[in-house]
């Protein structure tokens, strides 16, 4: 008997992926734990292991195939002792599906909408736009009975529709509503959401041959989709603050000079400014726990630890590996962890649990000389800290002009979860740790 091997869901948000490579060929015997394929998701290339034993019957999706939907049949597996005959050349609807052959990472379980036998809701406002006077009980009865309140004449005070009018409507003896000429100005129609121009409309603006058309890869498609969703569904709010980082730079030098060295003279760690920013932001989130939050429609998630995502540029896009419990880790540990994340991110070898979740994030473009910028929130986070370059600027100090190294940080927040005052408190706490960095060592 043959079983179907399905395209696995390697993360809760994965909808499709690319089949980068097969490690087995048709007719190979497969044991549990054998790596049988490499699947390329929007963030990483992951090896997939078999959990069943058998013989690979037919490969239905070849290497290099892109946009393969989750749960699509990619190959068939035969039981031991079966040969590869005509019946196994293609997958058939009768073939037994074995989702355990490639173990997917379970995503959120969809909840089916309840089937309701209630009558369709009747609008409580007539077409003319004027408000209908009706008691709450009458409105509830009208909804249950499927009666249009706009078609009834109210017998209550000032023409208010009451329960007696609904009882009359139920028995068929209701008085019809009077026909009145509306003198109110109709409400303006809601403007439809603007849509982006089509590919054909854009291409018409340019001469053929004046450009190279490079198709989007899976990473770029997913990044584009999620950025649009983030800006459309999250009410962004921005706060900026300037911080002096001269003391932080001096402490960084001292920490790196104190690092033990091996026989080749290689230091055990080399802490970067970005490592110190991650630590300072994590401590600020711990100091202002109400800002260490995630918005859900059912309630606010207040996180017990500061799991800070860090934006890392990779070919074709970016990814945000997460430093878990960053508020508790030493600077040297954060430095070592980030170097490992950056190396594996560029090789697309991060596992989903290493870049999913988290409570907030840091994006640092200071190394490119960018003075300041505002970053887009990465759901499910409710904030992201955008950090610019440290630049020497004149500052007023004790009535005199002095030179200090100033770094601008901009906090983007989800205004549903982190309002202005709370965001300002978080930034002020971050500033204290940056300007008095020895507090990060306690």
What's the pLDDT at 97? 44
Contact predicate 358/326, CB 8 Å: no
* Strand segments (E) across 28-88: 29-30, 35-40, 45-49, 54-59, 65-69, 73-78
Q: Mean pLDDT, consecutive 10-residue segments, the chain of 442 residues?
A: 81 80 89 86 78 85 88 84 47 42 42 39 46 74 77 74 78 58 50 75 93 87 88 96 97 95 92 97 98 95 97 89 97 96 91 92 96 95 97 94 97 96 98 97 88
CATH number of 2-97: 2.40.50.100
**Mapped to the 3 state alphabet, what secondary structure does 122-135 carry?**
CCCCCCCCCCCCEC
Contact predicate 124/118, CB 8 Å: no
115-150 pLDDT, tens digit each? 333 444 444 444 444 567 777 677 777 877 777 777
Distance, in Å, from the CA atom of 183 to the CA atom of 185, rounded to the nearest integer, reads 7
> Which CA distances in Å does 417 have to 181, 246, 296, 431?
46, 33, 9, 21
| Tally of CB atoms within 10 A around 109 | 5
Q: Which entry of 23, 236, 305, 415 is annotated as an active-site residue?
A: 415
17-48 pLDDT, tens digit each? 888 889 998 888 888 778 889 888 766 788 88
Q: What does the domain layout of the chain look like in residue ranges?
A: 2-97, 136-171, 221-259+268-441
What's the pLDDT at 117? 37
Determine whether 415 is an active site residue. yes
The pTM of the full predicted model, rounded to 2 decimals, is 0.64
Question: Prior bond to 380 cis, omega within 30?
Answer: yes
Question: Residue 364's beta-bridge partner residues?
Answer: 387
Fold equal for 2-97 and 136-171:
no
CATH number of 221-259+268-441: 3.30.559.10
Dihedral in degrees, nearest 10, Cα atoms 180, 186, 187, 192: 120
CATH class of the region 136-171: few secondary structures
């Amino acid at each position: 008997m043959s079983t179907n091997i399905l395209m696995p869901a390697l993360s809760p948000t994965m909808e499709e992926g690319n089949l980068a490579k097969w490690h087995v060929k048709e007719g190979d015997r497969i044991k549990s734990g054998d790596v049988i394929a490499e699947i390329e998701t929007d963030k990483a290339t992951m090896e997939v292991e078999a959990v069943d034993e058998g013989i690979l019957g037919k490969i239905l999706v070849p290497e290099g195939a892109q946009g393969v939907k989750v749960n699509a049949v990619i190959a068939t597996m035969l039981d031991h002792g079966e040969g590869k005959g005509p019946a196994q050349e293609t997958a058939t609807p009768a073939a037994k599906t074995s989702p355990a052959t490639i173990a997917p990472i379970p995503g959120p379980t969809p909840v089916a909408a309840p089937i309701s036998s209630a009558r369709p809701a009747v609008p409580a406002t007539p077409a003319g736009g004027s408000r209908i006077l009706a008691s709450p009980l009458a409105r509830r009865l009208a909804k249950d009975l499927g009666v249009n309140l706009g078609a009834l004449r109210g017998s209550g005070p000032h023409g208010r529709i009451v329960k007696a009018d609904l009882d009359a409507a139920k028995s068929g003896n209701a008085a019809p509503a009077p026909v009145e000429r509306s003198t109110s100005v109709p409400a303006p129609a809601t403007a439809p959401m603007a849509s982006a121009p089509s590919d054909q409309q854009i291409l018409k603006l340019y001469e053929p041959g004046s450009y190279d058309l490079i198709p989007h890869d899976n990473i770029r498609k997913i990044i584009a989709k999620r950025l649009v969703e983030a800006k459309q569904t999250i009410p962004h709010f921005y706060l900026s603050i300037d911080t002096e980082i001269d003391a932080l730079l001096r402490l960084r030098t001292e920490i790196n000079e104190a690092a033990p060295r091996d026989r080749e003279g290689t230091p055990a760690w080399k802490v970067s400014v970005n490592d110190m920013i991650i630590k300072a932001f994590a401590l600020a989130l711990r100091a202002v726990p109400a800002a260490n939050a995630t918005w859900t429609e059912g309630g606010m998630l207040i996180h017990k630890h500061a799991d800070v995502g860090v934006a890392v540029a990779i070919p074709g896009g970016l990814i945000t590996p997460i430093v878990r419990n960053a508020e508790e880790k030493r600077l040297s540990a954060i430095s070592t962890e980030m170097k490992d994340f950056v190396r594996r991110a560029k090789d697309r070898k991060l596992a989903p649990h290493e870049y999913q979740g988290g409570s907030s994030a840091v994006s640092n473009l200071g190394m490119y000389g960018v003075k300041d910028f505002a970053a887009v929130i990465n759901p499910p986070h409710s904030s992201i800290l955008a950090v610019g370059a440290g630049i020497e600027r004149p500052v007023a100090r004790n009535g005199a002009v002095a030179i200090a190294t100033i770094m601008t940080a901009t906090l983007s927040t989800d205004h549903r979860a982190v309002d202005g005052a709370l965001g300002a408190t978080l930034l002020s706490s971050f500033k204290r740790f940056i300007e008095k960095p020895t507090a990060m060592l306690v």
